[in-house]
Amino acid sequence: MADVPDLRSPDHASHAAEALAAADALCRERGAQFTEVRRRLLETLWRAGQPMGAYDLMSHLQAALRRKVTPPTVYRTLEFLMDQRFVSRIESRNAFVPCAHPEHPHACVFFVCDRCSSSVEVENPRLENLLTEAATALGFEVHRRVVELQGLCVQCVASA
C-alpha cells in the first residue's frame, strides 16, 4: 500500500502544497492547463480533509476567487480534474476527494467513515489485478474503477 496522508493530520497543509505542485508538473507534462479555477478547486479538496459535494465546492471557490461561480463551471472543473486523475468521486456520497496517486491509472479503493465522513484512498495492486482478470474473463471494457468500503475510521472507533 502506498503512503497516503492522513487528511486530518496537522501537517496536511504541506501535503496539499506538495499535491498542488505535483498536479502543476503533471499538467505541464501532459500538455494540460492548470488554470486558477482548477488549482483553487483542487486546493479546496486537499485542505477540506473529507469528501465535498459540488455545491459546497462552489461556495468555497466563490470565496477564494471573490467572484460568482456557476454550477457548470464547477462540474467542468471537476471533470477536468477527474480526467487528469487529480480527483476521484465517492459514488455513495456524490462527493469528491483528491486522488492520492494521480501519476498513474489505478483502481480507486476508498475507506469511507460513516460517522465523520473522512475517506482514505489506498492503492492495492493485488485487488487491481483481480478486477482486471475478472473484467477480461467477462470481456468487459472498464472505463473507471471505484471500490468503496464503508464503516468507521480508527478515530471514530476509538471514540465510540
pLDDT, tens digit (0-9, with 9 covering 90-100), for 98-138: 987 777 666 778 899 999 988 888 888 888 889 889 999 99
pLDDT, tens digit (0-9, with 9 covering 90-100), for 67-103: 999 999 999 999 999 999 899 899 888 999 998 777 7
Please state, in angstroms and rounded to a whole number, the distance separating the CA atoms of residues 159 and 75: 36
pLDDT of residue 110: 87
Please state, in angstroms and rounded to a whole number, the distance separating the CA atoms of residues 42 and 58: 12
Rounded to 10°, the helix 54-65/36-48 angle is: 120
Domain borders along the chain are 12-159
Please state, in angstroms and rounded to a whole number, the distance separating the CA atoms of residues 81 and 36: 13
pLDDT of residue 28: 95
> At residue 13, does pLDDT exceed 70?
no
> At residue 6, does pLDDT exceed 60?
no
Q: What are the C-alpha distances in Å from 80 to residues 1, 85, 101, 122?
A: 26, 9, 16, 22
Q: Give the three cell numbers for residue 46.
A: 486537499
Question: What is the CATH architecture of 12-159?
Answer: Orthogonal Bundle (1.10)
Considering only residues 160 and 69, tell me which one the structure prediction assigns the higher pLDDT.
69
> At residue 160, does pLDDT exceed 50?
yes
Please state, in angstroms and rounded to a whole number, the distance separating the CA atoms of residues 41 and 16: 12
> Would the pTM of this model clear 0.85, i.e. be above it?
no
Enclosing H/E stretch for 11? none
pLDDT of residue 15: 79
Please state, in angstroms and rounded to a whole number, the distance separating the CA atoms of residues 156 and 153: 5
* Furthest-apart CA atoms within the chain: distance in Å: 51
Q: Of 89, 103, 80, which is closest to residue 146 (Cα–Cα)?
A: 89
Q: What are the C-alpha distances in Å from 155 to residues 22, 39, 52, 110, 149?
A: 29, 30, 20, 16, 16
What residues contact residue 126 under an 8 Å CB cut-off, 6+ apart?
A: none
